[in-house]
């Protein structure tokens, strides 16, 4: 465990109750001593202030934190202003993404792809930021082909990214194959595996349809067989995801990035099994 980098992702709460709940969750997850926490950035920058507020609160608690930065709808001026605010608050790590398009929203903005955002960040701030980008072992849902998707990933790394975090998956072979292809394409930076704990089958299916993550047939059938038996779903999910994490780490994954959904129990349980 000590040789791997582990990180945990949150989304910025939108209510006072959500903010308080996240504080409780964060206190529990901080006991695991992750390398850093990351905080997502809503479609079109809709949670921009909430993202920064959450990151700053995490930093005040003594932990490293990385805001996500999406370029959808952004202008050179607006992104420059956000970067200046990050620097003014001594933030040195960020996750740079193209980002999801808000419903009914055209491409807009002055950046089309994440590599353009990364090039801009480097031109504006040099090496101030450690930049993480997204990777898609099972292909981005909007990519034309696996090769096009790989080419897009390589462009992001060449633009100045330091490391990558993958979309979640439940097929370790997809991750290993993607890493192998990236290495052949000249990418040497760490590619951290993104991990989504399984706690709710309906929610998982909805997320996976949106982001293009494949739920293997045997997992889908097993989850369906449990119906509304939440305890069995969670127990099965814990076994499946922990087993996959063990295989990923044994196979050379440099670390794991947990999509916590602002909950502590599942991530903690997986983590403790891996120690």
Catalytic amino acids? 9
Q: CA–CA separation, 161 vs 180, rounded Å?
A: 18
Residue 200 token pair:
């709710």
DSSP code per residue over the chain: -TTSEEEEEE---SSHHHHHHHHHHHHHHHTT--SEEEE---GGGTTHHHHHHHHHHHHHTT--EEEEEE-TT--HHHHHHHHHHHHHTT--EEEEE--PPPTT--S-SS--SHHHHHHHHHHHHTTSSEEEEEE-TT--TT-SSHHHHHHHHHHHHHTT--EEEEPP-S-HHHHHHHHHHHHHTT--S-EEEEE---S-HHHHHHHHHHHT----HHHHHHHHHTTT-HHHHHHHHHHHHHHHHHHHHHTT--EEEEE-TT--HHHHHHHHHH-
Beta bridge partners of 97: 70
Using CA atoms, how far apart are residues 43 and 105, in angstroms rounded to an integer?
10
């Amino acid at each position: 465990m000590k040789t791997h980098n582990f990180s945990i992702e949150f989304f910025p709460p939108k209510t006072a109750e959500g903010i308080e709940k996240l504080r409780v969750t964060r206190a529990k997850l901080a006991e695991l001593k992750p390398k850093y926490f990351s905080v997502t950035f809503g479609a079109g920058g809709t949670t921009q202030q909430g993202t920064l507020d959450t990151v700053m609160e995490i930093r005040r608690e003594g932990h490293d934190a990385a805001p996500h930065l999406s370029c959808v709808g952004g202008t050179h001026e607006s992104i420059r202003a956000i970067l200046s605010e990050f620097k003014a608050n001594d933030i040195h790590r960020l996750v740079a993404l193209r980002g999801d398009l808000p419903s009914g929203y055209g491409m807009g903005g002055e950046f089309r792809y994440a590599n353009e955002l990364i090039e801009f960040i480097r031109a504006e701030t040099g090496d101030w930021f450690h930049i993480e980008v997204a990777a898609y072992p099972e292909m981005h849902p909007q990519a034309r082909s696996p090769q096009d998707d790989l080419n897009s990933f390589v462009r992001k790394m060449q633009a100045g990214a330091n490391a990558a975090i993958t979309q979640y998956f439940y097929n370790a072979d997809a991750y290993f194959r993607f890493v192998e292809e990236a290495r052949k394409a000249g990418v040497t930076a760490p590619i951290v595996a993104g991990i989504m704990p399984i706690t709710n089958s309906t929610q998982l299916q909805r997320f996976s349809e949106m982001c293009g993550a494949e739920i293997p047939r045997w997992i889908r059938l097993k989850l369906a067989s449990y119906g509304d038996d939440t305890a069995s779903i969670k127990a099965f999910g814990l076994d499946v995801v922990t087993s996959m994490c063990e295989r990923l780490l044994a196979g050379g994954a440099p670390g794991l990035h947990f999509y916590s959904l602002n909950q502590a129990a599942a991530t903690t349980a997986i983590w403790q099994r891996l120690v």
